Structure 1
Amino acid sequence: MSKLLHIDSSILGSNSVSRQLTAQIVASWRAAHPATEVSYLDLAMDAPSHLSAESMGFRLPAGTADLSEVQQRENAISEALVSQFLAADVVVMGAPLYNFSIPSQLKAWIDRVVQVDRTFKYTDKGPIGLAGGKTIIVASTRGGMYSTSDAGNAMEHQESYLKTVFGFLGVTDVRIVRAEGLAMGEAAKAAALAAAHAEIPAQTHNAANQ
């Protein structure tokens, strides 16, 4: 049985396009792979705190003084999140574009799972990812158009960032289901949604790493 981790990060609730898309992606994946076990994170409702001196315990070197009670609690959160991520064969992630990047809630989650010696390690030849063999499907939503021009590509730090950080962790199979131009009128929104819906089967019926 494969494991799928479904993550939403939009703050818009039922009005969120990325949430609608992740739900459809998960349903499509389960239809193609019925034995999949699904777990769910709603980061808008329950995000880990942003990194602080108290939540860096998992990065302290061996032999460091005992952690405080707060550090132990934060370390337990990090351990639960990184273990859940490592156990997943597939990650379906809703990632709307907020101010040219991803939601801070999603960044807080990423900061907890990017852990040295768990999801990557340093070597004398540079860093090596330890979390390979996964499929990550990103539901990317944007109010404007960014993929159709060099200027737009230079401004977005959403898809480009996610591909970079998961590539750093060793994940080579990062798939994008994109809906952009959502704030550019009803016709543009309808076209964007139709394109995204049409893309979902192509991204969910191929289990390259399963």
Structure 2
Amino acid sequence: MARLLHVDASPRRGRSRSNMVADRLIAGLDGHEVEQLALFDADLPAFDGAAIEGRYALIEGRPVDEAVRADWTAIGRMVDHFLSFDGWIMTVPMWNFGIPYRLKHYIDLITQPGLAFRVVDGQGEGLAAGRRAILVTSGALDIRPGGPMAAYDFQLAYLEAWLGFIGVTEIDAIHVRPTYGDEASVAAAMDRAYADVDALLSALSLPARV
């Protein structure tokens, strides 16, 4: 049985198109354990100047304020939690051609040297290797690869680049586009996404890490 983390980056909960599609995916993953992380409800530590300077101080063995030390202890637990899973399902609506700020905040917190990646002989090595990510991306613009608006994609392109940086090479993407327009167009987009989910479920292999 694989353990999967559903990272929900939409504040719309049940009204979210990406979550509707993710629900179909999760329902089809018989025999797998799925935990949800709703980022708009999560308690994410601040990632500000004090936190950044505190990170350098901790690495160098210098004293830091107890509040900063507590924040970095919490961040370390977040990274451990993220890396404890065999894979991730991420529901991500497009906001202004990119990703919601809460997801960017989460990514900034967990993508730390020595925690999610390390540098070996001058090269970065991701510490999330051997796992799989399934991205359910949605948006009002139809920016699917190969389409006339594909150049506006700073959502899927960013997520794939980030996942690759932390070592994830098995990435599947389900597109829910467009989510805005006349009723028939939106219904067709949902039907395409549901069909893509069914096709992925037929081919998907999610073995637990040994």
Question: Is TM > 0.5 for Structure 1 vs Structure 2?
Answer: yes
Correspondence list, 1:36-185, <5 A: 36-56=32-52, 57-58=54-55, 60=57, 62-147=59-144, 152-185=149-182
- Shift in Å, 1:203: 2.5
Deviates more, 1:95-104 or 1:39-48: 39-48
Amino acid in structure 1 at the alignment position of 2:18: S
TM-score by length of 2: 0.89
**What is the aligned residue count?**
206
Rate the CA distance shift 1:71–1:159 in 2: closer, same or farther, 3 A.
Answer: same
Deviates more, 1:39-48 or 1:137-146: 39-48
Assess if the C-alpha contact under 8 Å between 1:135 and 1:209 holds in 2.
Answer: no
- Shift in Å, 1:117: 1.9
Rate the CA distance shift 1:28–1:58 in 2: closer, same or farther, 3 A.
Answer: farther
Rate the CA distance shift 1:133–1:190 in 2: closer, same or farther, 3 A.
Answer: same
For the residues of structure 2 that align with 1:125 and 1:162, how far apart are their CA atoms?
Answer: 23
Secondary structure (helix, strand or coil) at the match of 2:60 reads: coil
- Shift in Å, 1:76: 2.5
For the residues of structure 2 that align with 1:37 and 1:208, how far apart are their CA atoms?
Answer: 11
Assess if the C-alpha contact under 8 Å between 1:140 and 1:159 holds in 2.
Answer: yes
TM-score by length of 1: 0.89
The answer for the alignment partner of 1:7 in structure 2 is: 7
For the residues of structure 2 that align with 1:190 and 1:113, how far apart are their CA atoms?
Answer: 36
- Shift in Å, 1:202: 2.8
Deviates more, 1:73-82 or 1:185-194: 73-82
The answer for the alignment partner of 2:205 in structure 1 is: 207
Amino acid in structure 1 at the alignment position of 2:194: H
| 1:73-110: CA deviation from partner (whole Å, max 9, x where unpaired) | 21122112111111110101111000000000001111
Rate the CA distance shift 1:197–1:90 in 2: closer, same or farther, 3 A.
Answer: same
Assess if the C-alpha contact under 8 Å between 2:76 and 2:115 holds in 1.
Answer: no
Rate the CA distance shift 1:54–1:123 in 2: closer, same or farther, 3 A.
Answer: same
Amino acid in structure 2 at the alignment position of 1:207: S
Rate the CA distance shift 1:16–1:109 in 2: closer, same or farther, 3 A.
Answer: same
For the residues of structure 1 that align with 2:43 and 2:101, how far apart are their CA atoms?
Answer: 9
Rate the CA distance shift 1:68–1:202 in 2: closer, same or farther, 3 A.
Answer: farther
Rate the CA distance shift 1:134–1:61 in 2: closer, same or farther, 3 A.
Answer: same
Deviates more, 1:37-46 or 1:90-99: 37-46
- Shift in Å, 1:58: 4.5
Amino acid in structure 1 at the alignment position of 2:109: R
Identity, in percent, stands at 26
**Does 2:23 align with 1:27?**
no
Secondary structure (helix, strand or coil) at the match of 1:74 reads: helix
Q: RMSD over aligned Cα, in angstroms? A: 2.0
| 1:161-182: CA deviation from partner (whole Å, max 9, x where unpaired) | 0000000111001111111111
Q: Which runs of 5+ in 1 are unaligned?
A: none
Q: Which runs of 5+ in 2 are unaligned?
A: none
